[in-house]
Structure 1
């Protein structure tokens, strides 16, 4: 039997509660338990005027942004619409049915002003990390580092080749905000000073972004999202935005390790990373600070012609020399020089040579130096640290570390596929940093909600 037609009938009074209409198992109920915004108003107090019209509650704006990044709502216009319609979003944002949702332009006004001036988003991220530490999700013993390319809001059609680009001709007074930020970061190691090599193209709308073809496909403008995570539960303990070049990504490692030491007193006993971080200076920096580098060594000493490589020669640290497989010594200096120009180069690389007469009479010359009169070996300044990393690579702990490193890659996959951050919406270094901080905050909150879900309550009859 077909039932009667369903028709909406207006009522004079309604008895309605948002609390009763949000499912007990909803993700936002679990996330809400770990969102601590009690210190936001104090943090922002000096950035508000004491007179004038009352502003939109900054806690409401932050809660709305968290909803957007937790559920992959990339557009702020759409975010306002979703919060207006979705009862769970209203409940999380502390909005009643009659409360008005802020206009989308409010986010831009606050983001470009007081949020950036006060570093509010970093404060929010570090508050979440502090909660993760308090819940026992971070031990600080083993950390992993990696970077992922995030496409910038720029395209090749609006760009200039490197032969025609000249930053000195830009007038900061007439330039857009992203261009002014680019000019402000020319001396920073994460952006302008990361490398002297000029990119093939420079974007007009976002010149701080890097033209790259690192994905072995069509080139594009991008930023690098750098994550430092604790491998116990995959919690992100720090995040940094840089240009998409190896020097900037490796340099951000030092910045993040120093910052987590200052902010959270975390000093890892080991750092896990891929080969891009296995350069001599980086390994030397880690070993100097008593951090075991579980990192493949970035080494170009191998040979493809079948002759002996540097690894076949034994290093004699006591006498500052190499010993070849035939037992002959390769020395850097065989007498004291009074002329300093003939001594060490001071460029971080030492060259060790065998005697010409010894090599000419050696029966293994064809395996050692068939095309040279004598064998030469170069040794970098941080070769001792490189050897420490090579020795670690032979251990069982290193194999475990290489498996744990995948947790960083999983976080980047989650960032792009679930949270939808495959392309930035904000331009400039500050815009990229804002997006990366909010996304990392959302990932940590989702991690807390997954591990510690909200207790289920039985509904009253």
Structure 2
């Protein structure tokens, strides 16, 4: 997988689910996809299976902001709070970023910062995998005094609207209304990665192949979880619970001496 990280790296994409109460890793997976698109619903379903619940809340960064995947989450009763992608334009003028163009649902037009209306120019997606509808008003752009700040295109500015934008607006609204909840995302999910990558120095793998990397990362996460459980419960409580588990399972009793 090629990743732009001040250069090009060949690496794997490690997916994790972390619980918000104890920062324990619930589940993990390793893929070789260059993006996180399509992974939120999959990891959410795996977390539901672990917890044996019907509904779950998922906090994720903008890398998971994908309409198809977020719709799958809704069908799986996974309530998502996801940061949307950063807006921009070709000139770098923030005043004319695409989020400054306001959509009028009744008229089906976008109103630009200069007050002109951009009308729909393509009613259906160009390609099957291009799920956007284009809006433009080249005549207005040709006489607009802000054209050079708005776009570098000779024709004029175009705005692309996802065909699932109404659904994405609901996700955006839900996330915006729960800022305090969403702020916890970084504290929850980044702790294991910070500990393992920075604290333990596991920032790269000394093995090759997807299955070998999965084994390596599983061992690292197992060690992390063991340390977390020891910090949360303590050695004596862990031994007590293990003995109770063995008794209830009609297995032999485990005796461990602590010094």
Task: Give TM-score, length-normalised by structure 1.
Answer: 0.42
1:261 corresponds in structure 2 to 48
1:317 and 2:98 are equivalent in the alignment:
no
Q: 1:405 to 1:305 in 2, by over 3 A?
A: closer
- Is 1:412 aligned to residue 200 of structure 2? no
1:330 equivalent in alignment to 2:118: yes
Q: CA–CA distance in 2 between the matches of 1:326 and 1:305?
A: 14
Render the CA deviation track for 1:342-390: whole Å, top value 9, x for unaligned: 852353111112372x566778767767965665321123323443344
Instruction: Give the RMSD, CA atoms, in angstroms.
Output: 3.8
- Cα deviation, 1:419-458, whole Å, max 9, x if unaligned, reads 564443543221111222233233223222221114499x
Deviation by residue 1:371-412 (Cα, 9 ceiling, x = unmatched):
6566532112332344334434544x3244234423322212
Q: Deviations over 1:303-322 (max 9, x none)?
A: 51465333222222344332
Instruction: Give the equivalent residue in structure 2 for 1:275.
Output: 62
Q: Give the structure-2-normalised TM-score.
A: 0.69
Q: Distance in 1 between matches of 2:99 and 2:3?
A: 34
Instruction: Name which structure has the greater RCO, CA cutoff 8 Å, separation 6+.
Output: 1
Conserved 8 A contact 2:101-2:113: yes
Q: How do 1:333-372 and structure 2 match up within 5 A?
A: 344=124, 345-346=126-127, 347-354=130-137, 356=139
In the alignment, is the contact (CA less than 8 A) between 1:330 and 1:352 conserved in 2? Answer: yes
- In the alignment, structure 2 segments of 5+ residues that lack a partner are 241-256
8 Å CA contact 1:272–1:402 kept in 2: the answer is no
Q: Distance in 2 between matches of 1:371 and 1:240?
A: 42
Does residue 241 of structure 1 match 2:43? no
CA 1:268–1:435: 2 relative to 1, 3 Å: farther
Quick check: 1:231 aligned with 2:16? Answer: no
SS at match of 1:331: strand
Counterparts of 1:417 and 1:309, CA distance in 2: 36
Q: Which SS does the other structure have where 1:232 is aligned?
A: coil
2:164 is the alignment partner of 1:377: no
Give the SS at the match of 1:233: coil
Secondary structure at the counterpart of residue 388 of structure 1: helix
Match for 2:230 among 449, 453, 461?
449
Query: Could you tell me which residue of structure 2 aligns to residue 439 of structure 1?
Result: 220
Rounded Cα–Cα distance in structure 1 between residues aligned with 2:144 and 2:207: 65
Q: Is the 8 A contact 2:103 2:111 kept in 1?
A: yes
Q: Which residue of 2 aligns with 1:159?
A: none
Partner Cα distance (1:370, 1:220) in 2: 32
Change (3 A) 1:267 1:401: farther
1:259-293 C-alpha deviation (Å, 9 max, x unpaired): 22344334565322233223444444445555444
Instruction: Report the equivalent of 2:249.
Output: none
Contact 1:392-1:398 at 8 Å conserved across structures: no
Cα-to-partner distance string for 1:124-169 (whole Å, 9 max, x where unaligned): xxxxxxxxxxxxxxxxxxxxxxxxxxxxxxxxxxxxxxxxxxxxxx
Q: Distance in 2 between matches of 1:230 and 1:403?
A: 11
Matches of 1:355 and 1:417 in 2, distance apart? 51
Cα distance in 1 for residues equivalent to 2:145 and 2:77: 44
Cα distance in 1 for residues equivalent to 2:63 and 2:154: 32
- 8 Å CA contact retained: 1:269, 1:290: yes
More displaced stretch, 232-241 vs 374-383: 374-383
Structure 1 unaligned regions, length at least 5:
1-209, 334-341
